[in-house]
Amino acid sequence: MKINKFEELNIWKLSLKITKEIYDLTAKREFSRDFGLRDQIRRAIISVSSNIVEGFEKRNNNEFIRFLKIAKGSAGEARNQLYIALTINYITEQEFKKTNNELENLAKQIGSFISYLEQKRLNKEFIKKN
């Protein structure tokens, strides 16, 4: 199945869902007043969907892979900031577990998609050589 628009990508849809959750978490209590951490985690999660889209729109698998790797890194950055928020009691253990699990799942899905695209690239290179 060929994907024609980034809106069709499940990883993009999931990243938007998590973005909403992080914005909701960071709008609460002390978290909303910690401008540094609040803004940093928001930038990290926005970077995930933005890099998915930017890579897709390049219409080049090598570029797409590169941007997906950046998106995966940003998901890890957001997870680290969730740990910080948990450590300083900005979020509950339950809020942390839910969002962290979703971010781990998103990172796995991005990683699987990267592997798929890399394998597809290798297959094309093999066909060209033979």
Give me the CATH number covering residue 50: 1.20.1440.60
For the chain, the domain total comes to: 1
What is the predicted pLDDT for the residue at 50?
A: 98
pLDDT class of 122 with cuts at 50, 70, 90: confident
Over range 89-98, report the average pLDDT. Answer: 98
Whether pLDDT at 129 is above 70: no
Q: Is 0.85 topped by the overall pTM?
A: yes
pLDDT class of 119 with cuts at 50, 70, 90: very high
Over range 66-83, report the average pLDDT. Answer: 98
> Could you tell me if residue 1 is inside a domain?
no
Q: Which amino acid is at 49?
A: S
Tens of pLDDT, residues 45-67: 999 999 999 999 999 999 999 99
> Could you tell me if residue 53 is inside a domain?
yes
DSSP category for residue 5? S
> Could you tell me if residue 84 is inside a domain?
yes
What does the CA dihedral 42, 47, 49, 51 come to, rounded to 10 degrees? 180
Parent domain of 109? 6-129
> Could you tell me if residue 92 is inside a domain?
yes
What is the predicted pLDDT for the residue at 121?
A: 77
What is the predicted pLDDT for the residue at 2?
A: 86
What is the predicted pLDDT for the residue at 25?
A: 97
Whether pLDDT at 130 is above 60: no
Question: Mean pLDDT across the chain, nearest whole number?
Answer: 94
Whether pLDDT at 128 is above 70: no
